[in-house]
Amino acid sequence: MSILSKLFSPKKINSSYVEIENSYFGNGVLVKDSEKNCFTGIKSGFDGIDSFGNRKPELPCDLYEVIVKEDNIEFVLSSMEKIYKNSEQMMESCYNKIYEEITGLDIDLKDEFNLVYLKENWFLNGLSIYDEYVEFSIGINAARNPEENRNIDIIIYVDYRTQEPEVTHADV
């Protein structure tokens, strides 16, 4: 699995911007690597992409990684739309595993941290979009020491074909 990284502008001379129309996520501009014939980042737009789990984030997630072949972008966006439409149920199926992962970490958690706290306070921290799957990085301010919150990096991996979520803890 990947480490999420910010990708806001082309880093190569052979990169360009491509406007993509999408009625579900909103229109946006992707960064295209012309040499590899794939998209490598989100330049702007796609405002609905931060609403996984029907969360309306106070701040949009700021960690994106995109590596999608140009001829596969419609399949990817269509698959992601199905995932997002089912994201509340998907999160419900993941809460116990997420809670288990967090409580298994060597972190001193807040007294009020429990399953209800998790359900009410998680946020989308990052997003990695690939040809075959998407990864959602879930964050929560659950540690007694705020500096330790950065060590709570839960990844929900969803294969486009199965639409089944898998929960893991990313090593940071």
The pLDDT assigned to 10 comes to 45
Q: Domain range spanning residue 23?
A: 15-169
Domain count, the chain: 1
162 forms beta bridges with none
6 falls within a domain:
no
Q: Render pLDDT for 86-102 as a digit per residue (tens, 0 to 9).
A: 999 999 999 999 999 99
* pLDDT tens string 2-44: 333 344 444 444 789 999 999 999 899 999 998 889 999 888 8
**2 domain-assigned:** no
The answer to the question of residue 147 being in a domain is yes
Confidence of residue 54 (pLDDT cuts 50, 70, 90): low
Q: Is residue 134 part of a domain?
A: yes
Q: Is residue 68 part of a domain?
A: yes
- Residue 102 domain-assigned (yes or no): yes
